[in-house]
A and B are shown apart, each in its own frame.
Chain A
Amino acid sequence: AQSVTQLGSHVSVSEGALVLLRCNYSSSVPPYLFWYVQYPNQGLQLLLKYTSAATLVKGINGFEAEFKKSETSFHLTKPSAHMSDAAEYFCAVRQNSGGYQKVTFGTGTKLQVIP
């Protein structure tokens, strides 16, 4: 069975500081991994995805994530936080299970950016 763990339900950073949001997964086979962002009163939007083409994945709004198989991690980073980055971020894994591409989401991390 696949699972996703996001460490820290709330993360606060100062504007201009590094953003690091952690995601660890468990999967019996190489998974497909995703990061989504949710702004208030909106649905989730795709930030980036890992599909085995490259271990360092660049997404929208300056975010990137690195797939580390040995650590079963897919942490999300951004060098310099902007106020507009304040949102909730979800890590997700998609993997074949019983012939279907099932999706599992982490519990989310709310990012607060302090001016």
Chain B
Amino acid sequence: DAGVIQSPRHEVTEMGQEVTLRCKPISGHNSLFWYRQTMMRGLELLIYFNNNVPIDDSGMPEDRFSAKMPNASFSTLKIQPSEPRDSAVYFCASSLESGGSPLHFGNGTRLTVT
């Protein structure tokens, strides 16, 4: 089991540029979550997919953020255009859609927007 794989591990970009973060969930997991973590706001849920369908996107900050899950083994989080306030660590997590199933987190992508 390779765990949840996120790429890139670090991303530095200039304000206004498009940023794409990638996630490969654990095989067989049918729920996928994108979180953002900052010192000021802590851990925030951005979006939750079940069977590749977005179930809860109420945490997506604004239209600049979009997330897709074209198949069960891949998801992307895109920010266009990026702003300095988007600087954070972005985590992807996956799990089985079962109440007793824990989330498995990737190691995150540290995004810095200058």
A44 to B56, alpha carbons, bound, how many Å?
A: 21
Cross-chain contact B97 with A43 (CB below 8 angstroms): no
Complex-state Cα separation, A41 to B42, whole angstroms: 14
A43–B108 CB distance below 8 A = yes
A-B contact pairs, 22 of them (CB 8 A): A31-B99, A32-B100, A36-B103, A36-B105, A41-B107, A42-B107, A43-B93, A43-B105, A43-B107, A44-B93, A44-B103, A46-B102, A49-B100, A51-B99, A51-B100, A94-B101, A100-B48, A100-B50, A101-B97, A103-B45, A105-B43, A107-B42
* Cβ contact within 8 Å between B56 and A102: yes
Give the interface SS of chain B, mostly helix, strand, loop or mixed.
Answer: strand
Closest CB in chain A relative to B32 CB, distance in Å: 12
By size class, the interface of chain B is 20 to 34
- A42–B6 CA distance with the chains assembled, in angstroms: 12
Indicate if B31 sits at the interface (CB-CB under 8 A): yes
Whole-angstrom distance between the alpha carbons of A108 and B55 in the complex?
Answer: 25
Total A residues in contact with B, Cβ cutoff 8 Å: 24
3 shortest interchain CB distances as A-B pairs = A43-B105, A51-B100, A46-B102
User: Given the complex of chains A and B, what is the CA–CA distance between A8 and B87 in angstroms?
Assistant: 26
Residues of A within 8 A of B71 (CB): none
The listed residue (B4, B91, B93, B98) touching A101 by CB distance below 8 A is B98
